[in-house]
Amino acid sequence: MCGIVGILGQGPVAGAIVEALKRLEYRGYDSAGIATLEDGHLARRRAAGKLKNLEGCLAAEPLFGACGIGHTRWATHGKPTQANAHPHANGKVAVVHNGIIENFRELRDELRGKGHVFESDTDTEVIAHLFAEAMEGGLAPVDAVAASLPRLKGAFALAVLFDGEDDLLIGARDGAPLVVGFGAGERQNELYVGSDALALAPFTDELAYLDDGDFVILSRAKGAEFRDLHNQPVERRRVKTLASALLVDKGNYRHFMAKEIHEQPEVVARTLGRYLDMSAGTVALPFTLPVDAAQLPRLTIAACGTAYFAGLVARYWFERFARLPVEIEVASEFRYREPPMERGGLTLLISQSGETADTLACLRYAKAQGQKVLSVVNVASSTMARESDVAALTLAGPEIGVASTKAFTCQLAVLACLALAFGRARGAIDAKEEAQYVAELMAVPGLMAEAMKREVRIEALARDFAHVRDVLYLGRGTSYPLALEGALKLKEISYIHAEGYAAGELKHGPIALVDNDMPVIVLAPHDNVFDKTLSNMQEVAARGGRLILITDAAASHDFGGEVETITMPEMAPHFSAVVYAVPVQMIAYHTAIFMGKDADQPRNLAKSVTVE
């Protein structure tokens, strides 16, 4: 989703803004732009497409201003053209925006009626005109912003520059993240705004997060002044971030996605280390649960995309290990269904970014219903982490590839530990069983590392896939949600149509698609439903279907030479979804690469979806 950067600097800032925007590329975007004050007057450069196009514009027509704002746009209102790229400006004000202004049509009609001329299809442009209108009415820039912000409905983060104001940059937040950075040392007087800590990492590690409804007035002379939604001065705590210490580069890999797939044994181990006492062989949560797990009647889970599939896997675990009924739904449906929820119950949210608009809305709904909220998030400073009763952190590190990989398996690691903790608290498993399951979990990172060794085999398979039109993924038990995740991963980055199905549903529809061309990928660890899955495979084989079986050695089976098999390391079946995620991700990655697609930044997709 859109990325925002703003700098009040001491020399030309355009280059630094573009560098910071590059660190936000992972969020997904399709055009970019920058505005600075040149000799006191607003000047813009904007380009459709990737940042290199913007760099081309800047090389042809450089900007030298010492204060500026920049933006990567993920199109919502209007095509990704230069005219729709941010910043939007009108001679007085330049604005960059992340989010959606829901009432932009009414505001635009009103402003047109007052003589404002609009140049773009965006909702954002209305903000620049709204501020300008207030200034034409005699208000100073800060007062114009304060007076206008309450009129904006929707979710947004903004950064604003004003013509003739060399020492003023305003940031505002309502529903989309924005952080202020404070320069130190030779950057002593510099101030920054950005969509996240990562964007500002090269400049500073000293940050303050805006709360929803806040705006901030930045001035080199006066520093940062925060105001709340009532325009009253407020204090926002300064925190030190670790983001600058984290190397955000590809290492030896061609893509972030490849690096992140390969990091999984390490980050899953790190995450498990946080939730298990590995020497005692027990679960050891680093927090107290916000509810009495023994008394809990049910657990509600909501999430989006890959995180939702992690929740689907977890449902099997909570039901099996904790005998706890689970209700789970995609967040975008859940929030508007507005289900009744018992006070004191527990809602579990899962999110890599901790900023996904629909999931965040579920969090707020659940709280309003009197539920306790536990969230499994990867970004510790995210809105969800801050608003939850308890944030269970995944220690995946920054995930840059748009298609989630290591965040998913780290989510699974945390969810497995939670399910076991609930199981113990509810007396559904005893100490001996806990020790057995913990030992199985501790083996997972090593098994993932072993699974990585199938990469050459998977590459060969993927070379073939580059020519197919559709792919079907089948699984039972926890392999069913993994089949859904496999299909999602493949379509996200290779644009091949793929579907995931519960293997038992094969006969109820998808079998009609089976022919020699369509690969059917079967995820079948040697578990209690393996034989059932095997029967479904026979049904595909009998119709001349092309079967690809991912299974462990103990389960290898003779299908009369018809089946291409990826043999996984042998393992106890309970946590196979974490290990089998590896070949599933690699199939998608290598297929996309053979097809010449950008695995890290697939078309139309965004990393952090801060609009509904």
Applying CB under 6 A, the residues found at the interface with ligand G6P are 304-307, 351-353, 356, 359, 402-404, 605, 607-609
Beta carbon nearer to ligand G6P, 141 or 194: 194
DSSP character at residue 561? T
Report how far residue 421's alpha carbon sits from residue 457's, in angstroms, rounded to the nearest whole number: 38
Beta carbon nearer to ligand G6P, 353 or 551: 353
Question: Is 607 known to be catalytic?
Answer: yes
Distances (CA, A) of 538 to 395, 521, 533, 566: 41, 13, 9, 18
Least spacing, CB of residue 480 vs ligand G6P, in Å: 18
109 by Cβ neighbours in 10 Å (0-12 / 13-18 / 19+) ranks as: exposed
Which tokens belong to 388?
């939850």
Least spacing, CB of residue 377 vs ligand G6P, in Å: 8
**Which residues neighbour 550 within 8 Å (Cβ) at sequence distance 6 or greater?**
521, 522, 523, 524, 565, 566, 568, 580, 583, 584
Helix 125-136 vs helix 104-113: crossing angle, to nearest 10: 40
Report how far residue 315's alpha carbon sits from residue 323's, in angstroms, rounded to the nearest whole number: 10
Least spacing, CB of residue 51 vs ligand G6P, in Å: 19
Least spacing, CB of residue 66 vs ligand G6P, in Å: 35
Residue 544 zone, left/alpha/beta (φ > 0; ψ -120 to 50; rest): left
Least spacing, CB of residue 221 vs ligand G6P, in Å: 38
DSSP code string of 268-318: HHHHHHHHEETTTTEE--SS--SS-GGG---EEEEE-HHHHHHHHHHHHHH
CA geometry: angle 480, 583, 514, nearest 5 deg: 55
Least spacing, CB of residue 605 vs ligand G6P, in Å: 5
Q: One of 2, 304, 410, 417 is an active-site residue; which one?
A: 2
Residue with tokens 């409905």: 153
Nearest to 521 by CA among 532, 543, 536, 531: 536
Least spacing, CB of residue 272 vs ligand G6P, in Å: 20
**Which residues neighbour 461 within 8 Å (Cβ) at sequence distance 6 or greater?**
548, 564, 566, 587, 590
Nearest to 569 by CA among 462, 460, 443: 443
Beta carbon nearer to ligand G6P, 492 or 527: 492
Q: Phi and psi at residue 38, in whole multiples of 5°?
A: -105, 115
DSSP code string of 352-365: SSS--HHHHHHHHH
Least spacing, CB of residue 388 vs ligand G6P, in Å: 13
Beta carbon nearer to ligand G6P, 455 or 600: 600
Beta carbon nearer to ligand G6P, 31 or 351: 351
Residue with tokens 């002593």: 188
Q: Indicate the residue whose CB is closest to ligand G6P.
A: 305
Beta carbon nearer to ligand G6P, 381 or 536: 381
DSSP code string of 163-231: TT-TT-EEEEEEBS--EEEE--GGGTT-EEEESSHHHHTTT-SEEEEPPTT-EEEEETTTEEEEE-TTS
Least spacing, CB of residue 403 vs ligand G6P, in Å: 6
Q: Phi and psi at residue 243, in whole multiples of 5°?
A: -55, -35
Beta carbon nearer to ligand G6P, 190 or 355: 355
Beta carbon nearer to ligand G6P, 307 or 414: 307
Question: Is 491 known to be catalytic?
Answer: no
Beta carbon nearer to ligand G6P, 124 or 306: 306
Q: Are 585 and 485 in contact (CB under 8 A)?
A: no
DSSP character at residue 569? P
Supply the residues annotated as catalytic: 2, 607
